[in-house]
Homo-oligomer: A and B are copies of this chain.
Amino acid sequence: MPTIRRRLLAVSLALPLVFKATARADEGMWMPSQLPDIARQMKAAGFKGDPRDLAELARPPMNAIVKVGGASGAFVSNEGLVLTNHHVAFGVVQYNSGKQSDGSERDLIRDGYIAADRGAELPANPDYRVLVTTGFDRVTDRILAEAKGQQGRAYFDAVDRATKAVVAECEREPGTRCSVANMYYGTDFYRVRQLELRDVRLVYAPPNDIGNYGGEVDNFVWPRHTGDFTLLRAYVGKDGKPADYSPDNVAYVPPAHLQVSTANLKEGDYAMLAGYPGTTFRHRMASEFANQVEWQLPSRVALYQRMVDVIEATAAKDEAVRVSYANQVRSLKNSLKRAQGELDGLRRSNAVVVRRDDETAMYAWLDQQSDVVATKADIAAAQAVLDKGVAMRGRDQLLGVIVSQTQLLRSAVSLQRLAFERAKPDAEREGGYQQRDEALVSGQLRQVQRRYAMDVEKALLAELVGQYQALPAAQHVPEFDAVFGSTPAQLKAKLDALYSGTKLGAENERLAAMQADRAALSNSKDTLLQAAATLLPALLRLEDESKASNGELLRLRPAYMRALIGYRKSQGRAVYPDANSTLRVSYGRVSAMDPRDGVRYRPLTTVQGIVEKHTGSEPFNAPQPLLAAIAKGDFGTTAEPSLKTQTVDFLTNLDTTGGNSGSAVMDAHGKLIGLNFDSNWEAVSASWMFDPRYKRAIHVDMRYLRWLLAKVYPAPHLLREMQLPAE
């Protein structure tokens, strides 16, 4: 692909400000094309290759990096073997478990799986994909052509239309999946072109008690002892092109693959990682940091805790009700815990002050530049949009959970919305209400049966709408006041009437309503459907306002980003775009961590920890063959000589976020040393701020994989295929 170099040149020219700037050590989710710009720092960190090679998507090692199952992975053989996390391939393992066509049962989650040969490799669920990024082209001018001169909703819609057109054109090439990535918050747009491999098969999965050892208890926990990996294989048609599953398909020959390392590993060793990080907020404005830390997270924690309390108190009397709400309570508690973790982390890092001081310094620098009037006007306008959101944040938070955390009310709103959207041509319907989504909607309507109890929903609404009623008048929405009244006493009477006058508690009524047309639903005598009909125009209006705000921010934030990039350049630093599920590279080191005073986390864990954690029951139920192999102590060439035992996982300071699951971790020579699968609890706040004291990433040591394949659940043919020693 000789055009790659030209494309990258375009990318570079698009970002003249970052040229030759330097990065803060070890922070950064870099676009591959940026790496030559930070070559000096990468070399200083220990990288032995040429960063220009990493910038080329068509060259090793980047052409071995794939997107798989929504996360990351890499080719590890020249016959299409893909390595990713057990949890990323979990759906594939699950799909192949249960009752078989011959009537037998198998549980590959519990037992794991080793395909003895190519014929035994098991097809993944048909929607499972391996995507290889083959093109990354700047399309900013085209995306913004129509948007220029527009504002608000019109700007948003213009970008949306142009994006859809670019994608449609790009996807005309068969076997290609395309998207448009927004870099630096609307500053630049890139067309991402990916080869879409649709025949993926399960080759090797360890038992769940290895692949998910520690389960939820150890989630976000270091020290970790999980063998979170699975091997898949990508297949193509005999013509070498992407194809749906067919027994006649042949193994895909990737342009390159990563070689698993056979070297040892120690604290301080260079490491780098390539994958598809999801979303970060590092370059948000200081006021957004303050809003997040001072209001969004604490109020979410308080609100979710209140919801948990209300549900648990109301459900306490009735075991069946408790069971119905167990999922919702667990999910609220998880969100609460995560919000609390993020809050704790941002406070620990003093994020509000750090970001504010940085922004203040940036503005001081900006004031020294020429021609900044337009820039400053745009930033001020962006701030005004954000301020409008802050003024309504109490309302937006509460209305959000009033709809999303109820069962019957949500069903009623969803039914009215579906009827409303059905009046449009399918392509113009809102996402989630298109024809292809209707199965999902009916599934949700069915699920209500197992998740609803009238007393709980009324108690929850009494609490949530009660909080909404206590908001200042400026945040009130007439339609909500009409449906729920304006005082707690009115609310109680309204809720009694709403829930005694509805039949939506019955599944057949809900499913029947899904078939009704808009007029019938609008005129329904059902009290909740009536309420939803009243609320719908308000919800659509709020949605429209939100899109208008987003359009304005898309238009205005680039001024802020350009100022930031310019200021960083003046500091000698480059700026990576916030993560957006595109291919990124980060580099750093194998790193210990001091999580708190008096405690040091060592950077490598060993099989001793598996034995220590083993309780014999989930999630610490190490399989007997594993325990026996550990007791035997036969670790061969995969042992770490300095520890005289087998390592399991290791810790680096690499910059990651959700989506980096399955990212290949490479050494200074590009050899594969680890597979990223989690980060530590202290790093939950890293989506907003990278704090080098606490940000770590957790990887499976490839020597643990090699040992499992050599000695515990042997797959000598796969070791041979990966050109690895037999033991």
Q: Which residues of A contact B (CB under 8 A)?
A: 222-225, 348, 596-602, 604-606, 608-609, 612-613
Contact = CB atoms under 8 A, between A and B. Distances in A.
Nearest to A348: B612
A223 B598 contact: yes
A616 to B, nearest CB: 12
A314 to B, nearest CB: 15
9 A-B pairs with least C-beta separation = A223-B598, A597-B609, A598-B605, A600-B600, A597-B608, A598-B602, A596-B612, A597-B605, A597-B606
A600 B597 contact: no
Contacts of A223: 596-599
A609 to B, nearest CB: 3
B605 A225 contact: no
Contacts of A348: 612
A606 B612 CA distance: 29
Contacts of A605: 597-598
Nearest to A649: B598
Contacts of A597: 223, 225, 605-606, 608-609, 612
Contact of A599 (B225, B599, B613): B599
A305 to B, nearest CB: 16
B602 A601 contact: no
Contacts of A608: 597
A577 B429 CA distance: 84
Given A348-B612, A598-B605, 17 more contacts: A223-B596, A223-B597, A223-B599, A224-B598, A225-B597, A596-B612, A596-B613, A597-B606, A598-B601, A598-B602, A598-B604, A598-B609, A599-B599, A599-B600, A599-B601, A599-B602, A600-B601
Contacts of A609: 596-598
A283 to B, nearest CB: 28
A599 B223 CA distance: 7
A610 to B, nearest CB: 8
Contacts of A598: 222-224, 601-602, 604-606, 609
Contacts of A600: 599-602
A601 to B, nearest CB: 6
A599 B609 CA distance: 10
Nearest to A596: B612
A514 to B, nearest CB: 41
A397 to B, nearest CB: 25
A69 to B, nearest CB: 28
Nearest to A602: B598
Contacts of A224: 598
Nearest to A592: B600
A90 B597 CA distance: 27
Nearest to A603: B598
Contacts of A612: 348, 596-597
Contacts of A222: 598
A369 B609 CA distance: 44
A224 B597 CA distance: 9
21 contacts: A222-B598, A223-B596, A223-B598, A224-B598, A348-B612, A596-B609, A596-B612, A596-B613, A597-B605, A597-B609, A598-B602, A598-B604, A598-B605, A598-B606, A598-B609, A599-B599, A599-B600, A599-B601, A600-B600, A600-B601, A600-B602
